[in-house]
Amino acid sequence: MATKPTEPVTILSLQKLSLGTAEPQVKEPKTFTVEDAVETIGFGRFHIALFLIMGSTGVVEAMEIMLIAVVSPVIRCEWQLENWQVALVTTMVFFGYMVFSILFGLLADRYGRWKILLISFLWGAYFSLLTSFAPSYIWFVFLRTMVGCGVSGHSQGLIIKTEFLPTKYRGYMLPLSQVFWLAGSLLIIGLASVIIPTIGWRWLIRVASIPGIILIVAFKFIPESARFNVSTGNTQAALATLECIAKMNRSVMPEGKLGEPVLEKRGRFADLLDAKYLQTTLQIWVIWLGISFAYYGVILASAELLERDLVCGSKSDSEVVVTGGDSGESQSPCYCHMFAPSDYRTMIISTIGEIALNPLNILGINFLGRRLSLSITMGCTALFFLLLNICTSSAGLIGFLFMLRALVAANFNTIYIYTAEVYPTTMRALGMGTSGSLCRIGAMVAPFISQVLMSASILGALCLFSSVCVVCAISAFTLPIETKGRALQQIK
């Protein structure tokens, strides 16, 4: 039987095919990002130290801001000030804050968060101490304005915290930072109740400067943001920081080599108004402005209601006894009405309210999301401003103030977290800076509503606060981006 001849072409083709598949494949080296490293390392001892040190910036900021509320009655009496002059002190503090928020935000995105944080604390502590030697009202206003400029850089502490925290912990750890603001507020009120009646307001300012000076020393234990270092091309510094954190947390680094693109365009104002972020930016600005207006409105209105005893219209300006001035005539627009111990107690109780809703705020942020949680608390804030119009007892007033402080604090918690999360690394500090700057416009207007308009019409002032909160609630509900569970963006 004849066999079919083989086809050599086929054999040759198979040989060529086998030779082609035998060539070794070159594997690309593994790489990881800062986000991968932060998530792999996880939460640990470094983050606890970070939380305590960076969180303490809130203690210093609260003491410097709340200082105005407790010192206002004293300087009103000492320098025979009218209502608008007392309001101007707070307004100028926030004017300095507004201007330097943008400047510090730009510089932090270009030169580093840590450096700007350190400079802002040195600046604030220096001018705060100088304020205690102010020889006149004009000097007091100028020096407190300079303090406001320094305090505006404290938000870099929140950005450093945000950039080092793993995604699932941000919604829990950042709201807990409210504890530090509460501690600072309570501390300055407590110190004022003891120091002002005994050795005077100047010594209160000197004592209030001490925590900021101590914190400057503690900053050396916190590194520059690894995300910032990578964005500037300083990969070795970022890698060293991440390895140090992994060692401190007794964790491991991800396999491979740290590799992310160098971002030349950083801290550009135009990026905030880019089509992708335009709506978000504009609505965030409205919300920040409104929240600040409501927050400082509550603080100053509380002091004003207590100082003037305006509950239910029980006492008008004409009935307030004048004790200041050489003549002591009752026709003077100035008056001296110092806080009594009961007034300090009321301020402490209402201030404690800032932490009352914190557990619910944390649950809302993590389960309902940032947008819905913020819109709910803003709506409730509007309601309680209207309830403050009700003629009630002293206990009822304290109750309303307590809830208002709780709600406005929850609002600030949520918008701080949302703003830090929604922007990428290239413009995160600038986003926070511009938001903080717009926020201070609300804070600048608030004194004239709480300390001037409220003297003429409590109903008009409180209805204005309520209306602004309603606008903010709508803006929060319609924000285009939800950041719950979203990784921090490195580039836009």
Summarize pLDDT for 42-76 with one digit per residue, the tens: 999 999 999 999 888 889 988 988 888 889 888 88
Pick from 8-12, 178-182, 190-194, 364-368 the range whose average pLDDT is largest. 190-194
List, in sequence order, every residue forming a beta bridge with 258; answer none if it has no partner. Answer: 32
Q: According to the model, what pLDDT value does residue 48 have?
A: 92
H helix or E strand, kind and range, residue 175: helix 167-176
CA 410 – CA 218 distance, rounded (Å): 28
Q: According to the model, what pLDDT value does residue 332 have?
A: 45
Query: Alpha helix (H) ranges present in 30-56?
Result: 34-41, 45-55
pLDDT for 13 beyond 50: no
Are 293 and 465 spatial neighbours (Cβ–Cβ below 8 Å)? yes
Q: According to the model, what pLDDT value does residue 25 have?
A: 54
Pick from 26-40, 81-95, 212-226 the range whose average pLDDT is largest. 212-226
pLDDT band at 265 (very low <50, low <70, confident <90, very high): low
Helix axes 83-111, 57-78, angle to 10 degrees: 160
pLDDT for 357 beyond 90: no
Summarize pLDDT for 428-463 with one digit per residue, the tens: 888 888 888 888 788 778 877 876 777 777 788 888
Rounded to an integer, the average pLDDT of 259-281 is: 74
Q: Which residue has the higher pLDDT, 246 or 442?
A: 246
Query: Alpha helix (H) ranges present in 112-151?
Result: 113-131, 137-151
Asked if the domains at 31-263 and 267-311+338-491 fall in one CATH topology, the answer is yes
Q: According to the model, what pLDDT value does residue 314 have?
A: 46
Q: How many CB atoms lie within 10 A of CB 40?
A: 16
Percent of the chain at pLDDT > 70 equals 84
Task: For residue 121, give the nearest of 50, 38, 213 by alpha carbon.
Answer: 213
Q: According to the model, what pLDDT value does residue 114 have?
A: 93
Q: According to the model, what pLDDT value does residue 126 have?
A: 94
Are 188 and 101 spatial neighbours (Cβ–Cβ below 8 Å)? no
H helix or E strand, kind and range, residue 465: helix 458-477
Percent of the chain at pLDDT > 90 equals 27
The single-letter DSSP state of residue 257 is E
- 112 dihedral zone (left: phi>0; alpha: psi -120 to 50; beta): left
Q: How many CB atoms lie within 10 A of CB 29?
A: 8
pLDDT band at 382 (very low <50, low <70, confident <90, very high): very high
pLDDT for 20 beyond 60: no
Q: According to the model, what pLDDT value does residue 304 have?
A: 65
Q: According to the model, what pLDDT value does residue 28 have?
A: 61
pLDDT band at 5 (very low <50, low <70, confident <90, very high): low
Are 83 and 452 spatial neighbours (Cβ–Cβ below 8 Å)? yes
Question: Rg of the Cα trace of the chain?
Answer: 28
pLDDT for 144 beyond 90: yes
Cα three-residue angle 344-377-414, rounded to 5 degrees: 90
Summarize pLDDT for 98-135 with one digit per residue, the tens: 888 888 888 888 888 999 999 999 999 999 999 999 99
CATH superfamily of 31-263: MFS general substrate transporter like domains (1.20.1250.20)
Residues 267-311+338-491, CATH architecture: Up-down Bundle (1.20)
Q: According to the model, what pLDDT value does residue 243 have?
A: 92
Q: According to the model, what pLDDT value does residue 361 have?
A: 84
Q: According to the model, what pLDDT value does residue 306 have?
A: 58
Q: According to the model, what pLDDT value does residue 333 have?
A: 46
Task: Provide the 3-class DSSP secondary structure of residue 83.
Answer: helix
pLDDT band at 477 (very low <50, low <70, confident <90, very high): very high
Q: According to the model, what pLDDT value does residue 207 have?
A: 94
Are 351 and 343 spatial neighbours (Cβ–Cβ below 8 Å)? no
pLDDT band at 230 (very low <50, low <70, confident <90, very high): confident
Q: According to the model, what pLDDT value does residue 127 have?
A: 94
**Mean of per-residue pLDDT scores for the chain:** 81
For 36, residues 6+ apart whose C-beta sits below 8 A from its C-beta are: 254
Q: According to the model, what pLDDT value does residue 16 have?
A: 46
Least confident of 197-201, 263-267, 290-294, 360-364: 263-267
pLDDT band at 334 (very low <50, low <70, confident <90, very high): very low
Quickly list DSSP for 308-360.
HT-GGG---GGGSPP--SSS--TTSS----PPPHHHHHHHHHHHHHHHHTHHH
Summarize pLDDT for 397-417 with one digit per residue, the tens: 778 888 888 898 889 889 988
pLDDT band at 317 (very low <50, low <70, confident <90, very high): very low
**For the chain, which residues make up each domain, given as ranges?**
31-263, 267-311+338-491
Q: Which residue has the higher pLDDT, 227 or 272?
A: 227
Rounded to an integer, the average pLDDT of 200-207 is: 94
